[in-house]
């Protein structure tokens, strides 16, 4: 029987994981990437960190690489809050034993490319895809857009080429293709906290550290070598913005005012701030994600989201889990059926996680330091502990469950409506754990 010949454009996290899956199904798989092999690039000491949660782990475990990846990840079971004028305090993410995992994007990507190669995937690095013939599943690579191109013929092509996907770009030129792109006024810059001399971490290593400051915030995720990768999220323009921090004096005055407790932790602040780029954050939505039985978008190429729920990669890995489930369920069918079902199932969920991620920016940057918000969370947790079958907090639904994102969003909105009413109760500060509060929540849930 003819074994399908498949191309994947992009050797990022999603492309390399999809390659492993498809190769294990014995398809011939070729991955194209415009970049050099990441395994031959020396990291400059910095590493972009991602938080992996259960949706990501499911995709890795199902193919037997979860344990190997866990060995290069650090569990973070709580937020460590650094609010000016207060002692550092912790907010646990879930139940005991539940955690998200800090992992270096580069280290993970290298590992997955090696695993894919061992499984028999062919990688063609430094080969940029310029064009796609959608109905014929042909792709064209070359040195430059105007130069000579090489033509390749496949049975199917997967566009895993990220937020500014070339594959999607080609689909966009067709009639009735919806496309929406929205940049946030907030950008980000990576900074770092080095390890202690003995290689230990300068802050609690099992926490995601947050310095919430309203319009802007600093976060830090631990690395295995004792360092932390920090990200400053801040508006591009305005009173507190990247635009304002144009020299060392301004930067140090700003830091002294808003992040004084980090000054001794960040000896290379000025250097990092000056040398590292300021990057933009974008949400991209589109539809359809597939073209006949020939081409499909997976990961950021189909749905780029802002990073405030830590779900971009997780959502991309979940795309793969669903796609593979459908391939197994409809084995022998035309892939047009599989592709249709894939996009029908994933599109509403991608839209939901885009919305949730956007909302979580507000929660992380300003509300986590607000006492009303903290009280609300305390009431929710109290009720959830007592009635775990009746109330799972939204964060847990998204991060520690496999419930479709769209369902999590709907239930979360319903819970928010109930909590709005509870917070209006007289003297709620003092009666937050009373029978009356509990009964009111139960009654509203019943209704
Ligand atoms: C600041 C920040 C923090 C984040 N934190 C988290 C987090 O905590 N948890 C989480 O789950 N997600 C997080 N994400 C999101 C996550 O990084 C992305 O969702 C994920 O990396 C997307 O993977 P991908 O493989 O779809 O795309 P990419 O990683 O963008 O890979 C695309 C690949 O395609 C290649 N390519 C592009 N165009 C072409 C072409 N024309 N020809 C050939 N090759 C091409 C590129 O070189 C690249 O290798 C974060 C993102 C950001 C920006």
Q: Does the pLDDT value for residue 147 go beyond 90?
A: yes
CB atoms within 10 A of CB 89: 12
- Percent pLDDT > 90 in the chain is 90
Mean pLDDT, residues 17-38: 97
C-alpha neighbours within 13 Å on the C-beta side of residue 132: 30
Pocket test for ligand 1, best of 18, 21, 33, 132 (most atoms within 8 A of CB): 33
Q: How far is CA 74 from CA 185, 191, 201, 224, 226, in A?
A: 31, 19, 12, 7, 11
Task: State yes or no: pLDDT of 44 exceeds 60.
Answer: no
Identify the residue whose C-alpha is closest to ligand 1 atom 1: 307
Q: Pick the residue whose CA is nearest to atom 28 on ligand 1.
A: 162
The number of the ligand 1 atom at minimal distance from the alpha carbon of 298 is 26
Mean pLDDT of 137-162: 97
How crowded is residue 47: how many other Cβ atoms within 10 Å of its Cβ? 21
CA distance 62 to 66: 8
Q: Which of 208, 223, 196, 230 is closest to 72 using CA atoms?
A: 223
Shortest CA distance to 117 belongs to which of 13, 48, 229, 29?
A: 29
Measured CA distances, 414 to 67, 179, 381 (Å):
37, 29, 16
Q: What percent of the chain has pLDDT over 70?
A: 98
Nearest to residue 325, comparing CAs of 353, 311, 345, 354?
345
Residues in the chain: 447
The residues near 69 (Cβ < 8 Å, ≥ 6 apart) are: 52, 60, 103, 108, 111
CB 153 within 8 A of CB 138: yes
Read off the pLDDT of residues 19-29 as tens digits, 9 standing for 90 and up: 999 999 999 99
> How is residue 118 written in tokens?
């061992």
Mean pLDDT score, 116-120: 97
Mention every residue, 6+ apart, whose C-beta is less than 8 A from residue 311.
53, 55, 305, 353, 356, 357, 398, 399, 405
Six-digit token pair at 401?
Answer: 């469950």
Contact present, 189 and 231 (Cβ < 8 Å): yes
Of the pLDDT bands very low, low, confident and very high (cuts 50, 70, 90), residue 157 is very high
362's enclosing H/E stretch is helix 335-365
The DSSP output letter for 196 is P
Band of pLDDT at residue 1, cut at 50, 70 and 90: low
Q: For all residues of the chain together, what is the average pLDDT?
A: 95
**DSSP letter (8 states) at residue 298:** -
Please state which of the four CATH numbers 3.30.365.10, 3.50.50.60, 3.30.450.20, 3.40.50.10320 is assigned to the domain occupying 5-44+105-181+281-360: 3.50.50.60
What atom in ligand 1 is closest to the CA of residue 304? Answer: 19
Q: pLDDT band for 447, please (50, 70, 90 cuts).
A: confident
Atom of ligand 1 nearest to the CA of 128: 42
Pocket test for ligand 1, best of 52, 230, 284, 312 (most atoms within 8 A of CB): 312
Give the distance (Å) from ligand 1 centre to CA of residue 162. Answer: 5
Task: Give the angle subtended at the CA of 224 by the CAs of 222 and 226, to the nearest 5°.
Answer: 70
Atom of ligand 1 nearest to the CA of 311: 11
Could you tell which of 30, 38, 50, 53 is best to mutate to test the pocket of ligand 1, judged by most ligand atoms within 8 Å of the CB?
Answer: 50
pLDDT score for 235: 96
Mean pLDDT of the region 345-354 = 98
Cα 35 to its chain centre, rounded Å, is 21
Q: Which residues line ligand 1 at a C-beta cut-off of 6 Å? A: 9-15, 32-35, 50-51, 128-129, 160-162, 166, 188, 231, 299-300, 307, 310-314, 316
Confidence of residue 2 (pLDDT cuts 50, 70, 90): low
DSSP, res 244: G
Q: How far is the CA of 280 from the centre of ligand 1 (A)?
A: 13
pLDDT tens digit sequence for 288-312: 999 999 999 999 999 999 999 999 9
User: In this model, does residue 43 exceed pLDDT 90?
Assistant: no
Q: In this predicted structure, which of 11-25, 85-99, 196-210, 425-439 has the lowest mean pLDDT?
A: 85-99
Read off the pLDDT of each residue in 273-280 and give the average, rounded to a whole number: 96
Q: What is the pLDDT of residues 60-101, one digit of tens each?
A: 999 999 999 999 999 999 999 999 889 999 989 988 899 999
Q: Kindly report, residue by residue over 229-275, the tens digit of the pLDDT.
A: 999 999 999 999 999 999 999 999 999 999 999 999 999 999 999 99
- Cα 51 to ligand 1 centroid, rounded to whole Å: 13
What ligand 1 atom has the least distance to the C-alpha of 314? Answer: 11
pLDDT digits (tens, 9 = 90+) for 362-421: 777 667 667 888 899 899 999 999 999 999 999 999 999 999 999 999 999 999 999 999
pLDDT score at 289 = 98
Q: Is the confidence at residue 329, as pLDDT, over 60? A: yes
| Ligand 1, pocket-test mutation among 313, 315, 316, most atoms within 8 A of CB | 313
Three-class SS state of 392:
coil
The encoded tokens of residue 107 equal: 């280290």
Is there a cis peptide before residue 327, judged by omega within 30 degrees of 0? Answer: no
Q: Measured in angstroms, how far is the CA atom of residue 300 from the centroid of ligand 1?
A: 6
Nearest CA to ligand 1 atom 38: 161
Contact (Cβ atoms closer than 8 angstroms) between residue 307 and residue 219: no
Place of tokens 């994947």: 8
- Quick count: other Cβ atoms within 10 Å of Cβ 239? 8
Tell me what the mean pLDDT of segment 427-432 comes to. 95
DSSP helix/strand/coil, 209: strand
Q: Which two tokens stand for residue 371?
A: 């006492």
Calculate mean pLDDT across residues 178-193.
96
- pLDDT of 86-96, one tens digit each? 999 998 998 88
E strand or H helix that includes residue 399: helix 394-399
* Per-residue pLDDT at 365: 67
Ligand 1 closest atom vs CA 188: 1
The rounded distance, in Å, linking the Cα atoms of 313 and 113 is: 16
| C-alpha–C-alpha distance, residues 202 and 402, integer Å | 34
- Residues spanned by CATH 3.50.50.60 within the chain? 5-44+105-181+281-360
Whether residue 31 contacts residue 117, with contact meaning beta carbons closer than 8 Å, is answered with: no
Query: Do the Cβ atoms of 29 and 6 come closer than 8 Å?
Result: yes
For the beta carbon of residue 240, count every other beta carbon within 10 angstroms.
16
Q: How far is the CA of 227 from the centre of ligand 1 (A)?
A: 23
Three-state secondary-structure class, residue 125:
coil
């Amino acid at each position: 029987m003819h074994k399908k010949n498949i191309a994947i454009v992009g050797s990022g996290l999603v492309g390399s994981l999809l390659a492993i899956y498809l190769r294990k199904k014995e398809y011939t798989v070729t991955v194209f990437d415009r970049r050099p092999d990441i395994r031959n690039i020396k990291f400059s000491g910095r590493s972009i960190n991602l938080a992996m949660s259960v949706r990501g782990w499911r995709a890795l475990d199902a193919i037997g690489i979860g344990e190997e990846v866990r060995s290069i990840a650090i569990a973070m079971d709580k937020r460590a809050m650094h609010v000016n004028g207060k002692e550092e305090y912790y907010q646990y993410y879930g139940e005991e034993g539940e955690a998200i995992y800090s992992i270096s994007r580069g280290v993970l990507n290298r590992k997955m490319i090696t695993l894919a190669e061992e499984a028999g995937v062919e990688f063609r690095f430094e080969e940029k895809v310029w064009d796609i013939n959608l109905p014929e599943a042909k792709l064209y690579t070359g040195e430059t857009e105007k130069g000579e191109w090489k033509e390749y013929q496949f049975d199917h092509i997967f566009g895993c080429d990220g937020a500014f996907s070339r594959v999607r770009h080609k689909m966009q030129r067709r009639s009735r293709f919806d496309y929406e792109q929205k940049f946030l006024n907030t950008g980000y810059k990576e900074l770092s906290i080095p390890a202690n001399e003995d290689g230990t971490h300068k802050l609690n290593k099992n926490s995601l550290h947050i310095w919430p400051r309203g319009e802007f915030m600093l976060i830090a995720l631990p690395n295995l070598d004792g360092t932390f990768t920090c990200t400053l999220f801040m508006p591009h323009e305005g009173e507190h913005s990247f635009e304002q921090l144009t020299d060392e004096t301004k930067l140090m005055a700003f830091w002294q005012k808003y992040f004084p407790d980090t000054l001794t932790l960040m000896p290379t602040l000025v250097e990092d701030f000056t040398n590292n780029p300021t990057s933009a954050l974008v949400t991209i939505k589109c539809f359809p994600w597939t073209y006949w039985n020939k081409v499909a978008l997976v990961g950021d190429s189909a749905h780029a989201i802002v990073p405030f729920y830590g779900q971009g990669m997780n959502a991309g890995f979940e795309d793969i889990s669903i796609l593979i489930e459908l391939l197994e369920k409809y084995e022998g069918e035309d892939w047009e059926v599989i592709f249709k079902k894939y996009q029908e199932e994933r599109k509403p969920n991608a839209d939901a996680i885009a919305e949730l991620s956007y909302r979580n920016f507000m929660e992380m940057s300003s509300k986590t330091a607000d006492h009303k918000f903290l009280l609300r969370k305390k009431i929710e947790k109290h009720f959830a502990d007592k009635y775990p079958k009746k109330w799972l907090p939204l964060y847990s639904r998204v991060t520690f469950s496999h419930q479709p994102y769209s369902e999590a969003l709907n239930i979360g909105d319903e819970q928010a409506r109930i909590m709005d009413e509870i917070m209006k109760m007289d003297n709620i500060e003092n009666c937050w754990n009373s029978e009356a509060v509990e009964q009111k929540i139960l009654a509203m849930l019943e209704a």
